[in-house]
Chain A
Amino acid sequence: MRRLLAPRLIALFVLGWALFSFPLIQLWDREASLFGLPLLPLGLFFVWAVLIGVLAWLMERDP
């Protein structure tokens, strides 16, 4: 388990970096809204929350 933790974290880091960078970040950048909220901030906060969730899961399940 512990041996796999570092590669998993690095993979998550790369994924997070990609999600917050061009060109993926451009996907949110449009004049649209969801539940009355603008898409771009909503998307950024959504990705952020998912990253925290996955990170917490990875960290807490490792003994």
Chain B
Amino acid sequence: MTRKILIADDEPNIVISLEYLMKREGYEVLVARDGEEALAMIAEHEPDLLLLDAMMPKKTGFEVLQAVRGQQSAMKIIMLTAKGRDTDIEKGRALGADDYVVKPFSTRELVDRVGRLLGLSADDNPE
């Protein structure tokens, strides 16, 4: 079964990179350009994993996190932030993010973390 990943980021070039990367790893990719759109797509498509940018228009990543964690959901969440401040990491973890990646990230590491969270070893990569 193909895993669904939702990318929520407002930077088009980052979205292009992530989309390419995740598709290459064999995931089904959905894209949201702001917080509200992200929430709507989570409700509609029930993705397995969310790559969530912290700074987005309309609703920030933290607000999305809060809204999602209020509901019962098995969805894994990795926060992406360009502000490498410890307080942001703390905040994300407290709000229930499963992992945290600071921009600019290493593609290999991101792929590893996504795989680990989805319970797949690098070996049984569906590729």
Direct chain A–B contact by Cβ atoms under 8 Å: no
